[in-house]
Amino acid sequence: MIKSYRGLIASGAQHTIPLHTNDGKTGYKVIKFEIMPVDANTTTENVVKIYKISQTTVTTDIDFNDNTLLAASAINDSTDPGQPPSAIVIFDNEVFNQDIYVTNKGHDATPAVNYYFELEQVNLTEDQALVAIVKNLRNEQ
């Protein structure tokens, strides 16, 4: 089963996507992730990321060594001819079974941005569910 989520997120904001269950036997993985400016006629520079844990600070830094990062997208449709419009999306096929967090950070005057993503639902065995929960607890420390 595929579940989709969408929203409008302001720069510096974080949205919580509630996915946890009582038994943890429902897992998910990101299969699609897109962002789009609210107004195509406005300069937009945003970095939107999906994390496995809540972030204390929302930044534009994208660190692929961060094992809590599930997906990241950057968009820059600056009017500067040296900065062509671009959108970059990275996926991580990791299965998770807890809440996830969407963050957005833009340039100083950048407005909010739309996001859309799809999650593939995966049934987990009791052992797989326990491993996913323990991994999540370790990430929060």
Question: Taking the model in full, what pTM does it have?
Answer: 0.88
Q: In residues, how long is the chain?
A: 141
Radius of gyration of the chain measured on its C-alpha atoms: 16
Residue 84's domain comprises 2-140
For residue 111, what are its two tokens?
Answer: 């407005």
29-72 pLDDT, tens digit each: 999 999 988 887 777 889 999 999 999 999 999 999 998 999 99
Q: How many angstroms separate the CA atoms of 45 and 108, rounded?
A: 9
Quick check: helix, strand or coil at residue 1? coil
Q: For 66-92, how does the pLDDT look when each residue is reduced to its tens digit (9 = 90+)?
A: 989 999 998 887 666 555 566 777 777
**Average of pLDDT values for 111-125?**
92
pLDDT of residue 80: 61
pLDDT of residue 110: 74
CA-closest candidate to residue 110, choices 76, 71, 82, 81: 76
Q: Looking at the 3D structure of the chain, how many domains does it have?
A: 1
The mean-pLDDT minimum among 21-25, 33-37, 62-66, 127-131 falls in 127-131
Q: Contact 103/7 with Cβ under 8 angstroms?
A: no
CATH number, domain of 28, equals 2.60.120
Q: Which two tokens stand for residue 83?
A: 């900065």
